[in-house]
Amino acid sequence: MNREEIKNLIPHREPMLLLDEVEIDENNVSHGKYAIRGDEFFLQGHFPGFPVVPGVILCEIMAQSCSLLIGKGIIEYVPMYAGIDNMHFKASVYPGDTLEITSRITASKGKMYFVDSEATVKGKTVCKGSISFALIPKDQLLASRK
């Protein structure tokens, strides 16, 4: 899937759409990619003269890739974080790097999903851990804001 196809499934849009492409294999494992260009909003102040992708952004990239494992079943929902567990940051990510994300669902209960995810650059692990998220109906989110 390319960026436009990804937009057909998840609600994220620029500048928060942080995936360039994702493929879901026959074992329901997602393989996502995002090339760090250097002009992203999150690098502007992190850190001047020495841009490093923030850990929370790495988690967000991983979460977006994870949510695509639900496929078309996600269209009427917004995936919301429920937890981040045992997340370990092994190396920094810089402009020019291409982040590759591998994610697999380990458990689910109703609209709750538990996923193991790993991000690598050039085959080296930069971040790995578990993410849980809930699918919240879009109309419920809109109603809760009134």
DSSP conformational letter for 7 = H
- Judge contact between 9 and 75, C-beta under 8 A: yes
Given the residues 12, 31, 46, 88, the one annotated as active site: 46
Give Cα 104 distance to the centre of its chain: 12
Residues 6+ apart with CB under 8 A from 82: 112, 132, 133, 134
| Residues facing residue 118 across a β-bridge | 102, 128
Quick check: is 46 catalytic?
A: yes
- Judge contact between 142 and 77, C-beta under 8 A: no
Give DSSP secondary structure letters for 103-145. EEEEEEETTEEEEEEEEEETTEEEEEEEEEEEEEEHHHHHHHT
Known catalytic residues are 46
